[in-house]
Amino acid sequence: MSETQNSGAAGQTPPTGQPGKEARQVVVQKIYVQDASLEVPLAPQIFARQWQPKMDVQVNTGVKAVDEANFVVTVSLTVTAKLGDDVAFLAEAHQAGVFTVTGFANDAEKQAVLGGYCPGMVFPFARETIADLVQRGGFPQVLLQPINFEALYLQHLNQQKAQAAAAASAEQTSGQSA
C-alpha cells in the first residue's frame, strides 16, 4: 500500500498565490456531545397511551472563542412531545464542535461562518443524538428536518439592523420633541 503526502493537511495552510495572505480556512477539530438528557415523567403509563404527540422543537446556537483562531460552536436542541397536556418526553442535546477559522480579514465574514456554516456542520450530529435518545427511551423515531443556519443567521442580522434603525429613529423623534 502506498502512502501519499497531502500538502493541505490539517494545521497547514495551502498557498494563496499572494505573499503574506493566508487562505480562508475552516477546519473541524472535534465534534462532541457537551450535554444530553431525556426525561420521561409519566413512564411507564405514557407507553400505554395512543401515540399522536404534538412536538415542539427549540433550536439555539452559541459561539465561544477559545483563542484567536479556535472557536466552540454549540447547537442546542430541545424536543418536547406532548400527549394532550401531558409531557411524554423531553429530550435535550447540546452538541458542540471545535473549529479553527483562519484567513478571514473581514470580521463580518468570520462571524457569518461561525453563525451560519459551523452550526450547519454540527446540526446533523445533534439531530442524531436526539433521535438516539428518544429511541432508547422506548419511543418511535424522531426525525428532525434539516435547518438552513446560514439563512437564519442572515435573518438575525436583518432583525438587528431593523431594531437599530428603529432605535435611531425613535431617538431622533424624541430629541426633536424635547
Q: What is the pLDDT of residues 20-31, one digit of tens each?
A: 556 899 999 999
**pLDDT tens profile 54-83:** 999 999 999 999 999 999 999 999 999 999
The distance from CA 126 to its chain's CA centroid, rounded to whole angstroms, is 9
pLDDT tens, residue by residue, 99-134 = 999 999 889 999 999 999 999 999 999 999 999 999
C-alpha cell recorded at residue 155: 435573518
- What residue ranges define each of the domains in the chain, with the CATH number in brackets? 25-160 (3.10.420.10)
d(CA 112, CA 136): 36
Give Rg (Cα) of the chain. Answer: 22
d(CA 93, CA 105): 33
